[in-house]
Structure 1
Amino acid sequence: MQSGESKLSRTSAVGFDYGRIERKLAAAHAAIESVWTPTPEESRKILASRAQALAMEKLADEAVETYIEVVEFNLAYERYAIESHYVREVYPLENLTPVPCTPSYLLGVVNLRGEITSVIDIRVFFDLPKTGLPDLNKVIVLESEHMSFGVLVDAVARVDKIRVADIQPALPATTRIHETYLKGLTADCVAILDGGRLLSDAGIVVNEQIHES
């Protein structure tokens, strides 16, 4: 019993030099920091590398979430859009020349910098109500490898990017346009037309020739 008490007494009597411990910790910390401290140039390179890595991550995310660019326009108080790679240009309607004995949706032709271009009223082609601006004066020229024509609209609203995952199938009650010509609808009810289908449809393609009645 005396031996145990003596041991406890000796242990309790031992004092801790906290100042010495703090000095040792500070020296160890300084030694760690002295192993490598980046120069200003090295710091810039590190930051640039991190920025590049973040940019690559963003591009990878955008690749997973595919987007399409569209030209949005108004027609008959409704909002429509078509992929921008089918749109060659937009121009004001001027000097329209009617062509006799052609389908009712063909308004006529215009001379666009030496090129004869048909102008289509898609309200008639899609059997939409003839409402909207009283004087339609904007033409969107659609173009593919083998065909081009102009589409008369009320107004061109903007160019926008739409996430493909957000495009939903069009329900019959949501638009009068047949689903054959639609890629779908956005959450805010913009009907996206299928430009490739329009430009390849024999029912809408019209050669600039006068048909016999």
Structure 2
Amino acid sequence: MIASAPAFSMDDPAFVEKVLKARARRLANARREAVAAESGLSVLCFQVAGESYALALDCLAEVLPLVSVSPVPGLPRSLLGVTNVRGEIRPVFNLHHMLTLPEPDANDRFFAVFLRTAGRAVGLRVNELRRIRRLDDATLTFPHESGNGLPQRFIRGISPETLIVLDPQQILAQDVLHDRRADYRRSQ
């Protein structure tokens, strides 16, 4: 004789209540997991001179292949030059120079990671795009706590996997982005 499974009916109030409670627990767990996943810092990971770096997604305007850059005479080496993006001229920084890393081969393929600013977007030349991931702020060590040899001004923190999170405010605070002549004319 084969034992049959007990028959449940949607008309049985006890069965319906049991199903609804199980569904409510499943949905509540999914919400807790989603809230836990939302906490932290979402970053775009990329490579510069073989090192892993990241920038927070909320400070980025866009990411594009870097086709051409026109050098601007008389500006510091930290500014690679300018590029034309849909008719808008945008400055592009040389992260290799800013982070005291070896310069890449001119024939390498590059990308521009554009930081969002109040005015125009400012690009950073990177070698390779990696992925988007979430970091826990509590696990980041800060430059003054580590002897990594990098210019600490531009570093927000370093993850346990040695992913270096850059500080966009410090990058955008460089003097080369501010027109001192305009400041001088306003003061006259």
TM-score, normalised to structure 1's length? 0.68
Does the 8 Å CA contact 1:86/1:196 hold for their aligned counterparts? no
Does the 8 Å CA contact 2:75/2:176 hold for their aligned counterparts? no
Structure 2: state its 5+ residue gaps: 1-11, 182-188
Cross-structure match for 1:14: none
1:1-213 aligned within 5 A: 38=13, 40-59=15-34, 61=36, 66-131=39-104, 135-170=108-143, 171=145, 173-178=147-152, 180-199=153-172, 201-205=173-177
TM-score, normalised to structure 2's length? 0.76
What is the aligned length? Answer: 168
Shift of 1:172: 5.0
Shift of 1:60: 5.5
Does the 8 Å CA contact 1:76/1:132 hold for their aligned counterparts? no
Does the 8 Å CA contact 2:60/2:113 hold for their aligned counterparts? yes
Q: Identity over aligned residues, as a percent?
A: 24
Give secondary structure in 2 for the equivalent of 1:45.
helix
The structure having more radius of gyration, on CA atoms, is 1
In the alignment, the residues of structure 2 paired with residue 145 and residue 152 of structure 1 have an alpha-carbon distance, to the nearest angstrom, of 20
Shift of 1:69: 0.5
Shift of 1:150: 0.7
Give secondary structure in 2 for the equivalent of 1:85.
helix
Give secondary structure in 1 for the equivalent of 2:13.
coil
Does the 8 Å CA contact 2:76/2:176 hold for their aligned counterparts? no
RMSD: 2.6
